[in-house]
Amino acid sequence: MKSHAQVVVIGGGVVGCSVLFHLARAGWTDVVLLERDELTSGSTWHAAGGMHTINGDPNVAKLQKYTIELYKEIEELSGQATGVHITGGVLLAATEARMDWLRGVVAKGRYLGLDLEEISAKEAAELMPLIDPKQFVGAVRNSEDGHLDPSGVTHAYAKAARKLGAEVERFTKVEDIVQLADGKWRVITNKGEVIAEHVVNAGGLWAREVGRMVGLELPVLAMEHMYLITEDMPEVADWNAKAGKEIIHAVDFDGELYLRQERGGMLMGTYEKANKPWSEFTTPWNFGHELLEPDIDRIAPSLEVGFRHFPAFQNTGIKQIINGPFTFAPDGNPLVGPVRGLPGFWVACGVMAGFSQGGGVGLALSNWMIHGDPGADIWAMDVARYGDWASMAYTNAKVRENYSRRFSIRFPNEELPAGRPLKTTPVYDLLAGKGAQFGVAYGLEVPLWYAPEGVKDEFSWRRSTDFEHVAREVETVRFGVGLTETSSFAKYRVVGQGAEGWLDRLLACKLPKPGRMTLAPMLKEDGRLIGDFTLANISRQGKPGEWLILGSGVAEQFHMRWFEKHLPDDGSVAIEALGLKRVGLSIAGPSARKVLEKVTRTDVSNAAFPFMAIKALDIGMAPCLLGRVSYTGDLGYEIWMAPEYQRSVFHALMVAGEEFGIGLFGSRALNALRLEKNYGSWAREYRPIYGPLEAGLDRFIAYGKEADFIGKAAALAEKQAGGKLRLRTFILDNDDADVIGDEAIWHDGQVRGWVTSGGYAHASKLSVALGYVPREIADDADGFEIELLGKRCPARIQPAPLFDANLERMRG
């Protein structure tokens, strides 16, 4: 075994071998994979081997498509058979609600290049003869589903990597990992030590244990997962003889089942409600090519549905039940990327759909390691989407919930209860007492809307029970004054002698003067957006060089990783994520200033405190920081304070606002309000795949400033070339449902773009969608349609904001 390497990959399952292959293919050949046993010894060897392109996140779906297309290449390069069978498949719906969801899948597939087609239950039964069509209301045909040989694929990756110069060391157990003073990693094994610049934790079932070696507690948990294999079935033999091919895959979402042919019989797997974690706290190192004891009683309810939906199973025997552990993250997506605070340490774990996602994970991680960027928008898989709040107990609760709901519908207005409440603010109980219906953002409870007693969300793809109540919240803001909590924003304090110069290089905007704020895009080296912030210069006498950055709360870890990566080495700049050390409230509406004037002695007139001003003052008895800005697009103020003052400030504002009809509003009303202003949001309109010109943020880019900010050359090139896309706002002609994101945008009969977000703008009484289309059609007056729940709805571009297009209310 070599003593030094550029990269050590830990774990010889399909993910680790994929990472090794992709590094070697990209030219990093001084790489070695360490496996404590044989390759495939963890979850890989007993996997059912299915593969598919469908995913809730379109960017992950693209990587899944890449993974499936990669198998031919690695088979040819390695000479190792992968056993790939592209059979196609059907996704089945037993309810109209499920069928509505599948129609959204089809629409998404149109702009992803996936071959999907809505078909009837009868047509599905003609393609997959074991189906009882009377049990279903419809289906979707997918041409790219299939299955493979898990061992063959893993060895193909490993052999291909070896041919390219990589090394694989089997029976080499990693026992500890130590970071050296020069930043390199000392990987200690039972066969000696390797000094490496980079370490990749692809430990699978042992990912937690590998993480703990460097002080990292990863949010992953293994669950027992069962599938059965039947005896040979005459129905299978008849179909094979008649059709000359295998029976296609089937996913029965409402039955929580997946099926495929296995030799002369069938394989049926389930994600049962009565699930069971495996080895909750530590994973035994001596576990290997072993199976767990089957528990058919636990999956019996699912099998009963399966036998009803697929009657041929009633007449056949069960040859084998496979029960083995698979690891999951709390939301079911992988954990991939660099770990904040551990330079050179990377993770690629929690990849439960390894044969659909393993290739994409390997590609993204190798790109990230070599080029500093994953080459795709993989936010849904980024390990940075979790913070320290994702504890072991939280992970246990959320993984169990996710497992039991893997095939369940997640409606756009549905909030899942497991692991909650975890983080709350001081006014949580006050808001709950007013009827707040909470969602969760980065572990924090946030008010979505306020329900009268006896009213709650009824989950639906269409407008639901919250509709009229959110409308009243919007009305309160537009015609009076509303109060909402803003504690879920990320808040960063930047200080130091070098802070101004550092921010000038980090952010693409012109820096504001003391007491002022500005919108501040942040770019990657390729000129694409990696952040969208409000930057406030809060320097004052005696405290020079102090700044506040406000941004998306869910991206706190993501952005701190970027900030810290670019900090100067001389200690002249310090940045701190304030989290709940600072909490917030916001008031907005035409009467907002009148309320504010009653709770502070400071002059907050427009002349003394104009739009985008910020200053420290007292609200009631509490010291606060007040910013003249609002995401509602109305006259508004954001108020920041230490948590011990939030209740006092809340009471002061509510009492002062009584005569003006003050009311509470939540994030659903805020969404309706921002749509009227054509305001985008991070992780929807603003993502690392869009440039500032494409996203409409170019007006905030200081192209001519002296500082050579990150991405400046690329941003200038985009400006000169014009970019490929444009973000546009559309008005839909639809009367019972609104977009949620990822719907297809049609133009003159062809799919040309996609929706990023939207909803109902209650004050304007219009259905609104934001989305990207090619530049050459971005200003066409007509010809647009948006596909919503299987129907192409007429749509028209809304170039000017529906509300306050001249900025009179916001700036007045």
pLDDT tens, residue by residue, 454-465: 999 999 999 999
Residue 486, pLDDT > 90, answer yes
Sheet of 574-577, strand order? 517-523, 529-537, 546-551, 490-495, 574-577
Q: How far apart are CA 419 and CA 621, in angstroms?
A: 36
Is this model's pTM higher than 0.85 or not? yes
Residue 541, pLDDT > 80, answer no
pLDDT tens, residue by residue, 49-67: 889 888 888 888 899 999 9
Is the distance from CB of 2 to CB of 167 less than 8 angstroms?
yes
Q: How far apart are CA 604 and CA 624, in angstroms?
A: 14
Q: What is the pLDDT of residue 493?
A: 98
What confidence tier does 620 reach under pLDDT thresholds 50, 70, 90?
very high
Residue with tokens 């072991």: 392
Angle formed by the axes of helices 150-163 and 58-78, nearest 10°: 70
Q: Determine how many CB atoms are found less than 10 A away from the CB of residue 621.
A: 10
Residue 219, pLDDT > 70, answer yes
Q: What is the pLDDT of residue 55?
A: 84
Strand partners, 639: 585, 626
Residue 338 corresponds to which tokens in the numbers above? 């660099």
Residue 704, pLDDT > 80, answer yes
Residue 626, pLDDT > 70, answer yes
Judge residue 806's burial from the number of C-beta atoms within 10 Å of its C-beta, 0-12 exposed, 13-18 middle, 19 or more buried: exposed
Residue 775 corresponds to which tokens in the numbers above? 């530049």
What confidence tier does 197 reach under pLDDT thresholds 50, 70, 90?
very high
Query: Angle at CA 294, nearest 5°, toward 290 and 298?
Result: 140
pLDDT tens, residue by residue, 776-794: 999 998 999 999 999 999 9
Residue 57 corresponds to which tokens in the numbers above? 């996140």
Side chain identity, residue 796: R
Residue 347, pLDDT > 70, answer yes
Residue 339 corresponds to which tokens in the numbers above? 């770990």
* Mean pLDDT computed over every residue of the chain: 96
What confidence tier does 595 reach under pLDDT thresholds 50, 70, 90?
very high
pLDDT tens, residue by residue, 464-479: 999 999 999 999 999 9
Over residues 539-567, the mean pLDDT reads 93
Using H for helix, E for strand and C for coil, what is the string for 49-115?
Answer: CEECCCCCCHHHHHHHHHHHHHHHHHHHHHCCCCCCEECCEEEEECCHHHHHHHHHHHHHHHHHCCC
Residue 281, pLDDT > 90, answer yes
For residue 666, what is the DSSP state? Answer: -
Is the distance from CB of 699 to CB of 761 less than 8 angstroms?
no
Q: How far apart are CA 358 and CA 368, in angstroms?
A: 15
pLDDT tens, residue by residue, 99-119: 999 999 999 999 988 899 999
Residue 431, pLDDT > 80, answer yes
Share of the chain above pLDDT 70, in %: 100
For residue 40, what is the DSSP state? Answer: T
- Strands of 457-540 (E only): list them: 482-485, 490-495, 517-523, 529-537
Q: How far apart are CA 439 and CA 436, in angstroms?
A: 10
Q: What is the pLDDT of residue 58?
A: 87
Is the distance from CB of 532 to CB of 522 less than 8 angstroms?
yes
Q: What is the pLDDT of residue 542?
A: 65
Residue with tokens 């990863």: 218
Q: Determine how many CB atoms are found less than 10 A away from the CB of residue 745.
A: 26
Share of the chain above pLDDT 90, in %: 93
